Structure 1
């Protein structure tokens, strides 16, 4: 997998002004997600209340329908066509590369809020901070800073290897956080990346060129190592891979098996814990 990062695009505004703007946007996104979560809880409570009333009338109906009330966000939420937020097209700074110790030698949970084709969905990932401490520390740091908010997934491959690549705010495949790192961590020795793998993109033959771009494997793929080795595996998707598969089913915009997805994908935000 390639990450075409060459050098950071010179900023067009003062760093302090840009950081204030990012902070404002992150606050707005957080408030929006909180409002959506409250609305979902209110809907869930309403459904549970209805189910409780129905339970007084007929218990068999309750057993059949309690699952949807208990998990109201299990299915994607449709929007009006084209109602996803506008994707970022500008370079961003990710600050300084965090020390690997920031991964805390533990498993992290990352929830990616996606909008694809006017439909909201979530991809939940377990990040292995013990096996890939530098990569996980970087990913978590960028997520907490809002670096990934409203960024596009710019690349879909549908032949040979099967991945959706994201993490470049410019949407060009050449953007990065202003730093790069290595070496490669936790790469499979057999070059097999099972469906659900999330791994770091990098420049070919350069194990020190990882930045912000990552890819999600939606179908078992053999990705050959190059002179630098394999690709750092951050972790595994635990739920929501069907949303990525749905994007893949829509195909890519080029005829080469490698290009922007036909169904544009926006990462609205990433929550980590």
Structure 2
């Protein structure tokens, strides 16, 4: 009888040990499943953020690297009047844009983008651009140098904003030498003084508002821009940041 009792106790002990091990195993399985779910959610979130960053590359820039090249802000409580689109006079304008000691010969297409070109001419002739920094350089996938912000951080403008988007390429391809206006993401009427220079062929995806207004092109000096400014990269060696070699608009003369 004593032997039978001992065997029964041992059997119950083995059963409890087995059940405990099964519970530990079940908890481990549940924990692994939970960890896997969390990892998948985190991966999806990272991919979503990366996609959003690409689409909004120029929301902070061309558009803004406001790809979009820092966004032009909405008008202040007392906005300045927007220059008349008639100023562009439906013709091509010749300009000299000097960055540091590098002069770019530029053509502005007043026929294709009358409102944006009129604004650019008005600001250039008033001396608005003189002394302003080019605050943003992108070096991976999107290759632009963004300029024209009086605040120097992508948040400034001329005291007015305007639209619509004009002369944006349907295929989203902006060839090297293109000059285009930065704007806020999804806001066609948010163009102001900020513009960007495409120094290598770049594709910029359109957003809800469309593409980016092309105002003209660099006809000479693009190689000097690369060797003197963009080839040095960004200050923190990131793909989207301030140029390592500070860039100032010395002058912007339109004829």
Determine which of 210, 213, 233 is the counterpart of 2:214: 233
1:190 is matched with which residue?
A: 171
Residues 164 and 244 in structure 1, CA contact (< 8 A), matched pair in contact too: no
TM-score w.r.t. the length of structure 1 is: 0.66
Offset of residue 177 of structure 1: 0.4
Q: Deviations over 1:157-179 (max 9, x none)?
A: 00110000000011010000011
Aligned residue runs from structure 1 range 38-53, under 5 A: none
Q: Deviations over 1:201-251 (max 9, x none)?
A: 000011110000000000000111011100000011001112321211100
2:235 paired with 1:253: yes
Determine which of 69, 90, 97 is the counterpart of 1:105: 90
The unaligned stretches of length 5 or more in structure 1 are: 12-92
Offset of residue 8 of structure 1: 6.0
Determine which of 199, 214, 231 is the counterpart of 1:218: 199
Aligned residues: 187
1:144 is matched with which residue?
A: 125
Partners of 1:170 and 1:153 in 2: how far apart? 11
SS at structure 2 position matched to 1:265: coil
Aligned residue runs from structure 1 range 1-273, under 5 A: 1=58, 2=64, 3=66, 4-7=71-74, 95-115=80-100, 120-246=101-227, 247-273=229-255
Partners of 1:191 and 1:125 in 2: how far apart? 21
Offset of residue 7 of structure 1: 4.6
Offset of residue 97 of structure 1: 1.1
Offset of residue 98 of structure 1: 1.0
Offset of residue 110 of structure 1: 1.4
TM-score w.r.t. the length of structure 2 is: 0.70
Partners of 1:114 and 1:6 in 2: how far apart? 24
Offset of residue 256 of structure 1: 3.0
Offset of residue 121 of structure 1: 1.6
Partners of 2:121 and 2:115 in 1: how far apart? 10
Residues 177 and 199 in structure 2, CA contact (< 8 A), matched pair in contact too: yes
1:18 is matched with which residue?
A: none
Larger Rg: 2
Partners of 2:72 and 2:109 in 1: how far apart? 25
Residues 165 and 210 in structure 2, CA contact (< 8 A), matched pair in contact too: yes
2:12 is matched with which residue?
A: none
Offset of residue 269 of structure 1: 1.2
Residues 74 and 190 in structure 2, CA contact (< 8 A), matched pair in contact too: no
